[in-house]
């Protein structure tokens, strides 16, 4: 296998897929990028068996290339190409002795390889259900909910994000058992069409990253994506080629994102949504964030609890203390309806919700130990549930 290629073209392709490689995986080859050259087409693949990113690059006609395949260490390859001079010509030659030589100008690097035949693939999804959606809409749905995914949990289905289609709406839901985030948007599908799938955390993060890269490429202009949901996988094709005068991206660089779906039953989030709430507080988001930052300084490092005492004359008292007997107290102007109530939140959970909202924010409450519904004023498309801490 031999290839001579422009450094910028190669680096762009490597940067798109390198994060999917996992050098800590039990299969050593998954720390590598698979390089495959056939018929003037360069294919780079990285995978951790949960997320697979495959980038196909159409080689320019004058490119010198010989068909073949090998795998190279992802992080070393990326670092080498990144630090070469701009617009340099990179020569890659795989030899029979499990060595690959990379040269550019007066630079020469020799890397160990692993056989391309040892590199596993996720396979092609079957029984695909296509779903067309605006990239901006999908980005918004995921960014508004991803913070609530569990990081580690024996309930593995909580470490992902639920995608649910019903009543011509796409709903994304994430929860770690202590808080829940929900966002929904209308989409163009058949009225009777229904679907549920759980996308794992790494896949959510990678898909968000790739959509952000597309946004940069298109100067923030929107585009549509076709999400292909199968029984076990989600697959999305994303163009990253050249942008023409009409704002369209050609297929000179095509990336295929494939993610293994979580096989599990997501909790019925509807049962978690508070309904019998008789106390409502209306807060200004910016002022609340400022007060929380100050009060949080003296919270207990483990519980991070901040007590809210509602029922005053147009204000709420926020209070925090810790094991060193430090205490912070501050009042915040609010509009409040209902009987007095005192409840405590993990300040980080509330701050995460406020970070994705703007303007005036409502808290719908029932009693001190009951779940609290948080939403932006006059916005029913984004809803958040936080379980209070026992005081």
Residue 126: pLDDT band with limits 50, 70, 90 = confident
pLDDT at residue 312, rounded to an integer: 72
pLDDT in tens, 238-267: 999 988 877 788 889 999 999 999 998 999
Q: Which domains does the chain have, with CATH numbers?
A: 2-118 (3.10.150.10), 129-241+254-269 (3.10.150.10), 273-386 (3.10.150.10)
Identify the bridge partners of residue 94 per DSSP, sorted by sequence position: 100
For the segment 40-62, the average pLDDT, to the nearest whole number, is 94
Pick from 139, 141, 135: nearest CA to 174: 141
Compute φ and ψ for 203, nearest 5 degrees. -65, -40
pLDDT in tens, 132-190: 999 999 999 999 999 999 998 888 899 999 999 999 999 999 999 999 999 999 998 88
Residue 326: pLDDT band with limits 50, 70, 90 = very high
Helix 74-83 / helix 7-17 crossing angle, nearest 10 deg:
140
Q: Provide CB contacts within 8 A for 138, sequence distance 6+.
A: 170, 211, 225, 227
Share the mean pLDDT of the chain: 93
pLDDT at residue 391, rounded to an integer: 62
Strands 195-200 and 341-346: unpaired
């Amino acid at each position: 296998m031999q290839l001579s290629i422009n450094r910028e073209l190669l680096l762009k392709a490597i940067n798109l897929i390198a994060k999917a490689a996992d050098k800590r995986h039990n299969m050593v080859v998954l720390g590598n990028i698979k390089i495959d050259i056939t018929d003037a087409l360069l294919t780079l693949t990285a995978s951790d068996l949960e997320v697979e990113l495959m980038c196909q690059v159409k080689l320019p006609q004058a490119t010198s290339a010989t068909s073949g395949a090998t795998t190279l260490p992802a992080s070393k390859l990326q670092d080498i190409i990144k630090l070469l001079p701009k617009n340099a010509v990179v020569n890659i030659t795989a030899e029979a002795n499990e060595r690959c030589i990379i040269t550019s100008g007066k630079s020469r690097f020799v890397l160990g390889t692993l056989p391309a035949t040892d590199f596993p693939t996720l396979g092609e999804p079957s029984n695909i259900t296509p779903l067309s959606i605006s990239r901006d809409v999908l980005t918004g749905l995921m960014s508004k909910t991803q913070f609530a995914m569990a990081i580690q949990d024996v309930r593995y289905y909580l470490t992902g994000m639920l995608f649910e289609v019903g009543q011509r709406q796409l709903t994304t839901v994430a929860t770690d058992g202590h808080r829940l985030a929900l966002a929904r948007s209308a989409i163009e599908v058949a009225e009777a069409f229904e679907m549920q799938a759980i996308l794992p955390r790494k896949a959510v993060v990678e898909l968000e990253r790739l959509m952000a890269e597309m946004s940069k490429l298109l100067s923030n202009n929107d585009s549509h994506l076709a999400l292909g949901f199968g029984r076990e996988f989600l697959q999305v094709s994303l163009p990253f080629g050249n942008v023409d005068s009409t704002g369209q991206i050609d297929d000179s660089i095509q990336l295929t994102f494939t993610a293994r779906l979580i096989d599990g039953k997501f909790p019925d989030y509807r049962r978690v949504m508070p309904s019998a709430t008789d106390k409502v507080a209306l807060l200004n988001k910016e002022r609340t964030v400022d007060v929380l930052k100050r009060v949080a300084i003296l919270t207990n490092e483990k519980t991070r609890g901040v007590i809210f005492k509602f029922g005053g004359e147009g204000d709420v008292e926020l209070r925090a203390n810790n094991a060193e007997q430090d205490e912070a107290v501050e009042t915040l102007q609010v509009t409040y309806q209902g009987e007095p109530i005192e409840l405590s939140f993990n300040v980080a959970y509330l701050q995460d919700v406020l970070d994705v909202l703007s303007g005036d924010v409502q808290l719908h409450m029932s009693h001190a130990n009951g779940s609290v519904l948080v939403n932006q004023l006059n916005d029913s498309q984004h809803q958040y549930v936080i379980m209070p801490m026992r005081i």
